[in-house]
Structure 1
Amino acid sequence: MTIQFLDGRLSVNRNDSSGTDGITDTPLLIGDIGLQTGAAALLGNEGDVRVALTGTVGIVVDGVVAELTFTIERNGTSAPGSGVLILTEAFNTGGVNTIGPVSISAGDFPPAADVLAGEIRYTLFVSATITEGNIALSGPVVFNGTAFAGTTTS
């Protein structure tokens, strides 16, 4: 089937680096997009949909040692753990004073039933396990998604 562009969306939580929202062990929703996928059925491509997800998240650590965890879910609500887990990315800050914006990339091959529902929701969360001190979501915080369907063979 022909390659078919379905949709592209972005979620901008913060477009500068002046934020001070604290990050704790309770996951914080920082990105939320809904990709329109119903058009895939028009060409019989509902079984060949793929989604590319990317994000940038600015964090201030100020020398704190913590384990940061980013998760992306499919078709959940604003509550963490309510959707299908697509990505978990965790890393230790190692006590550094600054972290450049963190880049997140994920891919998804949603099931045909989700594609035929017409829209697939993706949510991005961040949490931190901190032994001492505070970590802040400074920004920028952007979450993007693009959906395509079809294959390269006829």
Structure 2
Amino acid sequence: MSIQFLDMRISETSVMDTPGIALVRSSAIFGDIGLQTSSVTPENVNLVRVTLTAYARLSIDVSVIVQNDVTFSIYRNNTLIFSTTYPGNINNTATQYEMVGITAVDYPPANDVLSGQIQYIIIASAIRTATLGACSFSGIAVAGNG
């Protein structure tokens, strides 16, 4: 059986670096997509695969010597499925500008697939002063063997 395309969605919070989304010891959702799965065939319910891609431009204030981690977390229907931390460079003495690209995959359970839509969100959180510039989040869902 060939691959069954289910859905593709994008969430583009910001197309420019300014004004940014401030992360000052807090977090921000910068991507929210609902991938439609209602067209999945019965034989493919357990064969759904999702690829998620995110991009964010960070500016990290390093004026105070503390840990400057920024964590990116992806949730499927409020369940954490992926988390990674950008450590930054605490030896840098000027504001850092970084581009972050993330690719994650998911094999959603049949119950989520049968609900007809799977909600994915990505959150960025920081334990010091950081700002999100341009950022986007996208996802593609397919099913089947092939």
Q: Same fold (TM over 0.5)?
A: yes
Residue of 107, 132, 135 corresponding to 2:130: 135
Unaligned residue ranges in structure 2 (runs of 5+): none
The aligned amino acid for 1:17 is D
Return structure 1 stretches of 4+ with deviation > 4 angstroms. none
Question: What is the RMSD computed on CA atoms of the aligned residues?
Answer: 1.5
Q: Displacement, 1:137?
A: 1.4
Query: Which structure: greater strand fraction?
Result: 2
Q: Distance in 2 between matches of 1:127 and 1:19?
A: 18
The answer on 1:89 being equivalent to 2:88 is no
Aligned to 1:51: 50
Query: Please, which runs of 5 or more residues in structure 1 have no aligned partner?
Result: 76-82
| Aligned residues between the structures | 140
In 2: Cα distance, 1:51 partner to 1:99 partner: 30
Q: What TM-score do the two structures reach when normalised by structure 2?
A: 0.89
Name the structure 2 match of 1:79. none
Deviations 1:30-86 (A, max 9, x none): 10000001111x3520100000000001111143551110000001xxxxxxx1111
Percent identity at matched positions?
Answer: 36
CA contact (8 A) 2:62 2:68 kept: no
Contact 1:50 1:149 in 2 (8 A): yes
Residue 5 of structure 2 corresponds to which residue in structure 1?
5
- How high is the TM-score relative to the length of structure 1? 0.85
Question: Partner of 1:46: helix, strand, or coil?
Answer: helix
Q: Distance in 2 between matches of 1:10 and 1:22?
A: 22
Tell whether the 8 Å contact from 1:69 to 1:91 is kept in structure 2 after alignment.
Answer: yes
Q: Select between 57-66 and 105-114 the one with higher mean Cα deviation.
A: 57-66
